[in-house]
Structures are given as C-alpha cells and as structure tokens.
Structure 1
C-alpha cells in the first residue's frame, strides 16, 4: 500500500523528496500531474499526500479538496513556490495539515512527514518509529564527553534517518553544538569537580544529596519513558555518585536493550583508576550491567584495555573504535617553515584554560612587533567572564584576535601554522586530523589524563609538549620563533571513531530490532 503520494511536476524536487522519505523507510509514489495523481489515488489510496499548488494540468489545492471530501482524516501537505495570502487562505479552508513555502529544508520536511504518519495512523507507529538511542555524558569541567556523544549521534542519524537519539548532558552551558533532526537533549543539574571523584552542585544552592536525587530521578524517568534500544554511557560507568545504577538495573531487568560503555583512550593513571574501580564497585558494574565497551582511541598509542583491565571485565567485548573527531583529515601541508606566521591558541571548553591563553599572549609580547606572528585565541564557551575580559583586553593591546568560541574549528586549524592547546581529547585529535603542528600544555590535575595523553602522542611524533609548571613566556616565545613543524609523525592514527561506533551500534540494533532496514544493518555500508 502506498503510504505517501508526492504530487509535484518539478522532476528533480519530486525525486529529492522521494529519496529523503525512502531513506527513512517510507513507501512513496510520485505523480507529476493532477491526472496522474487521481489515477494513483484510485488504485492505491495514500496515508498522506504532499501536493504542489501549480501543476501543469491543474491546481493542487483543488485536487486535494476534491479528494478530502471522502477522506477528511488523511493528512495533506501543501507546498508552493508562489507563497501568497490567497494560497494560504485556500489551504486553511482545505484544513491542510501544513503549508510549505519553497525552498524548504528537506530534512525538516522528512521529520514532519514521519510525525504526521505516526500521529495520523497509530498502527503505523511501530513501523515508522526508528531505533532509539539514549546517551549519558556527565560533563563538568569541559565539553569532551558531550562532544564525543554528539559526534556519534550525528553518525547514527546519517545511518538511520528515522532514529531518535536522546542525550542526557550535565554541561553547564547545555548543548552547545548544533544538533541534527532526530537528536535532542535533557539537561541535568550542573556539577563542579573539586578533585578525584569529588563533585558538588555548581549552580544550585542545595546539598549534593539533593542534586544527586534530582539527577537520578531525571535519568530513571527519561529511560522509562524513552525505552532506548541502546544506552551509550560515556566515561563514568556508574554515573556521578552512582546515579546511573538504578537506570542500568531497570534496563537490564526489562531486557531487549543493549548497554555500552564508551571510554576515551586515557581515563587517569591506570593503577589509581583500577584501584578506585575495585574499591567503589565500578568494576562490578561494568562486569554485570554492560554488554560491551568501546574505546575511542588507538591501541598502539595507549593500550587502554590492558591498562584498565577492561578485557577481564568484558571478555571479547572490548573494541577500539579509533579517535572520535569532528575535524576532517588535513592535506599534506607544507611543514618546512620553522617560523610559524599564524598561531592558533585554543582553550577547549575554557573552564581552566586561562593560564595557557595568558602565557601565550605574554609570549607574543616577548617577540619584537616587527617579527610577531599573527595570533588567534579561542577562550571556550565555559570560561568565566571575569577571566575572559582581561584576556580579551590584553589580546587587543597586542593586535591578536580573541574569540569567545568558534563554530568552525577545522577552518581555523587549516589556516594555522601552529596550534597551542591543552591536552584535552578533542583538542588534540582535531589537531592531528588537521595535520597541524601542535604544542600541548596539559592540565596539571586533578587527573593525570592530559599529561599521559600528551606524553604518549609525543613519543610518536604527533605533538610536542610543554608542562604548565614550566610555562614561562620567554620559553614559549622561543618555541614560537623556532618551532620545528617539519617532523613526520611515526604513525597515522584512525580518526573515524564516530562512524565506527555507529557501525557497531548498527550491528547490535540489527539483533535487537528485526525491523531495522537492511541497508542500515550493514556494518560497513
């Protein structure tokens, strides 16, 4: 049975609409004229009709009006390239479900049609409803966990256009990345990390117990209502304060879903992490309540499974996905110039980036004005205003460009001869992807993560490092003047982690959801 009929005499537009809907698993028929539409309707009555106003042999609104006399409950969507009050009034009298003025975003049309089909035909709901994936990222000091999940969510939507991804985020700024249709988020009360495994509410003036209760309640209720096919948890297996454990147990009891732990390459000092996991029962949670582990890294750079004992907790269920990054792999740029003329300084999320940006500005001041390189600094969306303001003023004094944030980091990296950044996961992987020579200044603490990552990557010639303890403007200025960016990295690391993770999730969905479209079930298609 035809579900959607497209009545459009512009062949290319009709084909594009049909392709978008078919990719979402919707059966489609196309008619290029009123007469062809009447024949199609007579032979196979549709569940929804999308019709242009101006057709070669008639008027689309008149066509819909005649047909709806006998089918008043079927949704109809009117579209036109000649938006006018007259056409809108005619569509209202027709009681059209929606009126679209060309041009319109194809993905928005697809979302509208899927919703109308599910609402107008309850029996179609299970067939139209695509896979549901819930993601958890506790983000406190930075954006890394949320960015990884957002990248994987985008890759999933590319693969399953009718999927729904619900992200549970703790970032103080909420969701700072643009989301595709099919992806949404729920904001958990924000936390501040005071030390290893020490959190406090960052905004609410309530006790940690109250904050934990609120966050736990949101997680449980969201999982109960959303009923995810897949739950992907980033970094904290039990959640902050073990807030995820009740949700994990409920999903396990209900059955029919897969729970995956996603870990960046380096968590913290391995010995300390394993001891803490054993002491707090986290290792038992991974063993009993998870179905697999994704490691977002390269085993050659850092064998995470060995260091953290993951293979013992999830035998044969640990997979290295490669690095998850939104940056594209850069071309073979000319690295022969040892005197960078364009320096980019990135603070990542920005919450603790003041020392790096301040030292970079003072290093710039140490260089004679006639020999100073161009410098662009990105504070990051989480930097406090009382720290951002003096940095911005100092940058202005030195004729440096100062940005609060950027929506196009890859373009800035492509234009830079040298990147100065902290050792956060996303910052360094974006630099590696762009083949941009990089000085990493890792965070001092409370975790050893950034220092370990910088040391591992430096061993393979992928970055150079400067410790914050040795962060002297004169020393940094010498690096700026004589940086040797011509060295060739010893290895090429995989940067397709988001796609690889989406492929692995697709394999699990094919087992959980027999109705998964075959073209989406291919693990590498």
Structure 2
C-alpha cells in the first residue's frame, strides 16, 4: 500500500520521468525541460529523471530536479543495440536496467510517471515498473510522444512487435503529444482504440528559454549544430566544404560538434576549421546552447525535436539537414516544416546535398521568413499545457486518496 495513501499525510508532489536515451541527447533534454517547467510551476514539487544518457552528468539541473544514470547502451546505424560497458550482453544489461528502474520507483514513490516515447521502455524494461505503479500505489502514468515518431507503416510494425499498443491501452492515463495536430499526427497508422484517443492531449511544442542573460554578440554568426553529433558528420562536412569553396561566404559559422562527434572524424574537422582562419570556429559541447541560438543570425542544423524547438523558440531562420536512417522522423518533421514556411530543408531529394546547395542556402538565410511569420497559434504552448495537466493529475490523485 502506498504509505502516502495509507497515512493520508500530505507530502510534496513527486514526478518521475523516464527517458531511455540509447542515442543522442534528445530524450534527456526533453525530460530536463519538462522537469524544470513542472518544478518551477509548483515550488513544492520535485522531479527525478531516469536516463541512459552517457553525458547526463555534464548538464546542470535546477533545484528539486535530479537524475539517476542507467547503464548505457548504444544504438547502431542498423537500429540494433549493444551494451556500452560492464562486460555484459544486451539482455543482461536490460535486466539490470529494469531492476534499477523498478527499485528507484519503489523508493521514490512518484505521484506521476512521465514516460518518453517508448510505452514499454527499452526492450520492455519498463513493464515491471508500470505494473508496480499502476497497482496499489496508483501513480498517474503519462506517455509523452514527440511530434513525429516515424513513417506510419514502419511505426505500426514497430509498436506491434513491442506490444506497445496493448501497453498504452492498459497502463497510461494520458498521452501527451508535444506538437500540434495541424502540423503532424505521430499516431497516424497506429491502431489505437477510441478510449486511448480520448486520453490524448496535443500540448504544442516545448518552448526553450535562456537560463541566464545571453552575452552581447560582437559580430554576426550562423550557428551550426548537429545536436548530439552522433550522426552529424555529413552535415558538418557540407558546411565546412561550403566555407572552403566560397571564400566570400558569410557571416562566420560557429560550429558546435556535440558530445558524440569525436575521434578521427572530429580531428579531421578541427584541422579544416583551423585553415579557415576564423571564418568558422568550433566547440565540442555546450550544455547552454540556448544562448548560442539566441545570438545567431541564422541556424544550420539537423532535424531533431529539441533543435527544432530551439529554432521555433528563438524564432530563427534555419536550414535543416535531416537524417534519413535508421528512421525518417527528422525528414518528416523537416519536410512538413518546410511546407508550412517554418524552415528550409536540404536533403538527398530536391536540390540535393551538394556544396553549392549549402552555399546557396546559407546566403539565402537573411531572406527567409521567420517561423513566427508562418505559424503562431499555440505553437509553443507545450510547457504551459504540461504544467496544467500535472496540476489536474495531482488534484485527481488527492481526490482519490481522500475517498
């Protein structure tokens, strides 16, 4: 029996967020943004993030927000996974993660669990915790989905294989979609029942803000960011080639590699940057990249969810170079955004991924419309919507406890 319900003793609300983080930074950064907004809106609440990100310790977390680092796994380009450390195979690592997740949930005893993207967790690791929290403890369970998951047929097959439809129907009180239905419906093609559809909430995108005042910019720059960087080699190469081929191209580029672009590839890029004599500068990783967005004249980036939110939040003219493997999520997001006039896209279709197309795109940035000129109503209301829903769920839990 949940001790809170048994003793009827009020306590500050506890929110647990699960992000499996097998690749890149996206899940952790989204969970961090949600946790910060929830604890800011409710000064008594705390939030605990469970994450598999190997760079979680390089981020700062606000007061009353902390994280538990799960043993890491690596997503390969073919979509399969391998264990990062510990000399354990993927099955053993998954079992260890599942035990840690359940033990944390048992001790932390959250009032609300917010699950990022995967209804059953990585390889089903979340199921024991879902059983625990949906039983006598009766935490409120929320599935949070980004605006785009994958092309409908591929996603339907994936969810069928993972038992995700059944888990969504059985466990989750609400589904939050961090986008607008008018832009894209990530559940298209999923055989969700009418009861599940009634639990869906379209929140709008998750607005990003500066944690501190941005320093004044001495000279204009284009921000170049591949997000986490793990699959950003092609985009970075194209930008460097553009500045190498056209000595008059400006303004200067500020390149943020991301923590996962490293090794010989990074060393080769560093040598090329050095030869450009300040026309391109580079840093490895910046946990406060929002300030760089705020000061940029324009952005060249990949099409991940968090980067897209930053483009919208800081109203930046952007060229998006989406990845297309192992899933089409970024391509779908970027192509739909281009249709709406929010961004410009470069990929293997259309003009193609050529040095000249990148030169032309950077030169055309000042003439692009800003995102705010294309779509406005409710576009960035996501965090406000989420904090409102958290308040509603906590109130329902309190009413249930009082019965």
Secondary structure, aligned partner of 1:513: helix
1:453 is aligned to 2:338? no
Structure 2 contact 79–326 (Cα < 8 Å) conserved = no
Question: For structure 2, which runs of at least 5 residues remain unmatched after alignment?
Answer: 1-6, 211-218
1:274 is aligned to 2:153? no
1:395–1:197 Cα change, 3 Å: closer
**Distance between the aligned counterparts of 2:121 and 2:78, measured in 1?**
14
Deviation at 1:181, TM superposition (A): 1.7
The one-character-per-residue Cα deviations of 1:230-270 (angstroms, maximum 9, x if unpaired) are: 11100111011100011101111224311100000111111
Query: What's 2:100 paired with?
Result: 218
Query: What's 1:503 paired with?
Result: 388
1:167–1:125 Cα change, 3 Å: farther
Structure 2 contact 147–184 (Cα < 8 Å) conserved = yes
Query: What's 1:434 paired with?
Result: 314
**Distance between the aligned counterparts of 1:430 and 1:418, measured in 2?**
12
How many residues are matched?
380
The equivalent position to 1:494 in structure 2, one of 349, 361, 379, is 379
Structure 1 contact 444–468 (Cα < 8 Å) conserved = no
Query: What's 1:241 paired with?
Result: 123
**Distance between the aligned counterparts of 2:60 and 2:400, measured in 1?**
29
Structure 1 contact 237–261 (Cα < 8 Å) conserved = yes
The one-character-per-residue Cα deviations of 1:415-474 (angstroms, maximum 9, x if unpaired) are: 322211000001112112212111100012101100000011011000111115732222
1:307–1:462 Cα change, 3 Å: farther
Structure 1 contact 442–467 (Cα < 8 Å) conserved = yes
Query: What's 1:377 paired with?
Result: 255
**Distance between the aligned counterparts of 1:378 and 1:351, measured in 2?**
12
1:197–1:231 Cα change, 3 Å: farther
Deviation at 1:476, TM superposition (A): 1.1
**Distance between the aligned counterparts of 1:251 and 1:262, measured in 2?**
17
Deviation at 1:485, TM superposition (A): 2.9
TM-score (norm 2): 0.88
Query: What's 1:352 paired with?
Result: 231
Query: What's 2:15 paired with?
Result: 133
TM-score (norm 1): 0.68
Deviation at 1:414, TM superposition (A): 3.0
Question: For structure 1, which runs of at least 5 residues remain unmatched after alignment?
Answer: 1-123, 329-339, 517-525
1:482–1:159 Cα change, 3 Å: closer
Looking at both structures, which has the greater relative contact order when contacts are Cα pairs under 8 Å and sequence separation is at least 6? 2
Deviation at 1:348, TM superposition (A): 0.6
Structure 1 contact 311–318 (Cα < 8 Å) conserved = no
Secondary structure, aligned partner of 2:35: helix
- Which runs of structure 2 are paired with 1:218-367 in the superposition (5 Å)? 218-310=100-192, 312=194, 314-327=196-209, 342-367=221-246
Structure 1 contact 283–313 (Cα < 8 Å) conserved = no
Secondary structure, aligned partner of 1:273: helix
Structure 1 contact 230–259 (Cα < 8 Å) conserved = yes
Structure 1 contact 139–170 (Cα < 8 Å) conserved = yes
- Which runs of structure 2 are paired with 1:43-58 in the superposition (5 Å)? none
The one-character-per-residue Cα deviations of 1:23-59 (angstroms, maximum 9, x if unpaired) are: xxxxxxxxxxxxxxxxxxxxxxxxxxxxxxxxxxxxx
Deviation at 1:479, TM superposition (A): 2.1
Structure 2 contact 300–320 (Cα < 8 Å) conserved = yes
Secondary structure, aligned partner of 2:294: helix
Deviation at 1:204, TM superposition (A): 3.4
Secondary structure, aligned partner of 1:185: strand
Greater Rg, structure 1 or structure 2?
A: 1
**Distance between the aligned counterparts of 1:286 and 1:193, measured in 2?**
24
Deviation at 1:311, TM superposition (A): 5.8
**Distance between the aligned counterparts of 1:323 and 1:380, measured in 2?**
23
Deviation at 1:175, TM superposition (A): 4.1
